[in-house]
């Protein structure tokens, strides 16, 4: 187990260093647009990492996870619409709003299991989607344009692409560190134990429901942060951020990268968005190609991309 954890730390450090080296390399080679692309990749890596906490470690298949991203994004967009631009307030607000939604919906959803859990999370996600679509004061179906990015300590620091890039990288690093501490803690071992045998964990004195609910809220808050960053990245918020298709994309990222490995979620986000960009260059129907490719990976490369870096055990 310690060997797997060490391997996870090393791979994560290499990934983060690679992200850190990208902007100067992109600038030197005349491909500065890659900085903007990589910012988006890292934001989705945060979202995928948050889902992996409950899917890979807790076997909670949420088809409404994108709702947390959308709530975080709308928290920033609506705050900006009312003149609140301070990121030290809006980012925690986005996380709190997503966490509150996760607490309320998770308290209901986690009373079910299996396909029922999948369906009820999908229902809550669609509820959030249609609620956002009905907010005519904030753009409704057309979405909400944000005329600038959040400030940090009253400074327009994030307006600079490099500054924003490294801010996103710092958020990814902190989220990965925090998630690795969670899964490596006693709490994380209980979540993994509930995944393996719920009745046995209850028999030795742990409350599976309460532990899963806390994990669900933590996951939702991290996804809310990803939503806040996404709103700043695109300077636009749309109900489409909450669609079930976006939740499906996140599940694909986690499966593609390797469930139960935090660095796998990051690898999955990188691979998914890179494949999307490459295949979309050939045809607008790129999903027709990507679908069979994903099926082959699930059938013949269980463990995803992360399998190439580890043994059969799970790690952080």
For residue range 121-161, list pLDDT tens digits in order. 999 999 999 999 999 999 889 999 999 999 998 899 999 99
H/E stretch holding 236: strand 236-237
pLDDT recorded at residue 32: 86
The pTM assigned to this predicted structure is: 0.93
Give domain 2-308's CATH architecture: Orthogonal Bundle (1.10)
Alpha helices in the chain (DSSP H): 2-28, 33-55, 66-81, 87-109, 114-133, 161-184, 186-196, 198-203, 208-234, 244-257, 262-280, 286-300
pLDDT recorded at residue 307: 72
For residue range 201-217, list pLDDT tens digits in order. 999 989 999 999 999 99
- Evaluate if residue 313 carries a pLDDT over 50: no
N- to C-terminal Cα separation, the chain: 10
Which of 176, 277, 273 lies closest to 222 in space, CA to CA?
A: 176
For residue range 76-94, list pLDDT tens digits in order. 999 999 999 999 999 999 9
pLDDT recorded at residue 277: 84
Residues pairing with 86 in the sheet:
151
Other Cβ atoms closer than 10 A to 140: 13
For residue range 172-195, list pLDDT tens digits in order. 999 999 999 999 899 999 999 999
pLDDT recorded at residue 300: 72
Residues pairing with 152 in the sheet:
155
Decide which of 10 and 83 is more confident.
Answer: 83
pLDDT recorded at residue 12: 82
pLDDT recorded at residue 253: 92
Q: Please report, for the chain, how many H helices and E strands are present, in that order.
A: 12, 2
How many whole angstroms separate alpha carbon 59 and alpha carbon 260?
Answer: 9
pLDDT recorded at residue 6: 65
């Amino acid at each position: 187990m310690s060997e797997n954890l060490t391997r996870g730390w090393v791979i994560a450090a290499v990934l983060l260093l690679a992200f850190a080296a990208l902007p100067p390399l992109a600038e030197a080679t005349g491909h500065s647009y890659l900085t903007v692309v990589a910012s988006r990749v890292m934001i989705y890596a945060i979202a995928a990492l948050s889902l992996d906490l409950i899917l890979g470690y807790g076997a909670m298949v949420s088809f409404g996870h994108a709702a947390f991203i959308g709530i975080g994004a709308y928290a920033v967009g609506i705050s900006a619409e009312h003149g609140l631009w301070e990121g030290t307030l809006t980012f925690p607000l986005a996380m709190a709003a997503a966490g509150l939604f996760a607490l309320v919906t998770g308290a209901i959803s986690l009373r079910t299991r299996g396909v029922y859990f999948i369906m009820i999370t999908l229902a809550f996600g669609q509820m959030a989607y249609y609620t956002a679509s009905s907010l005519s004061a904030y753009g409704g179906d057309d979405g909400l344009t944000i005329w600038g990015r959040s400030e940090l300590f009253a400074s327009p620091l994030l307006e600079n692409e490099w500054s924003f890039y490294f801010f996103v990288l710092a958020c990814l690093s902190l989220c990965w560190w925090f998630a690795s501490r969670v899964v490596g803690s006693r709490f994380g071992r209980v979540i993994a134990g509930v995944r393996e045998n719920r009745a046995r964990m209850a028999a030795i004195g742990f409350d599976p429901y309460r532990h899963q609910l806390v994990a669900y809220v933590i996951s939702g808050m991290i996804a809310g942060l990803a939503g806040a960053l996404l709103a700043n990245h695109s300077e636009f918020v749309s109900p489409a951020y909450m669609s079930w298709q976006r939740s499906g994309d996140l599940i694909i990222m986690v499966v593609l990268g390797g469930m139960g490995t935090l660095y796998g979620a990051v690898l999955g986000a990188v691979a998914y968005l890179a494949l999307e960009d490459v295949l979309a260059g050939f045809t607008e129907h790129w999903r027709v190609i990507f679908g069979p490719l994903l099926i082959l990976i699930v059938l013949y490369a269980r463990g995803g991309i992360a399998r190439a870096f580890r043994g059969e055990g799970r790690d952080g």
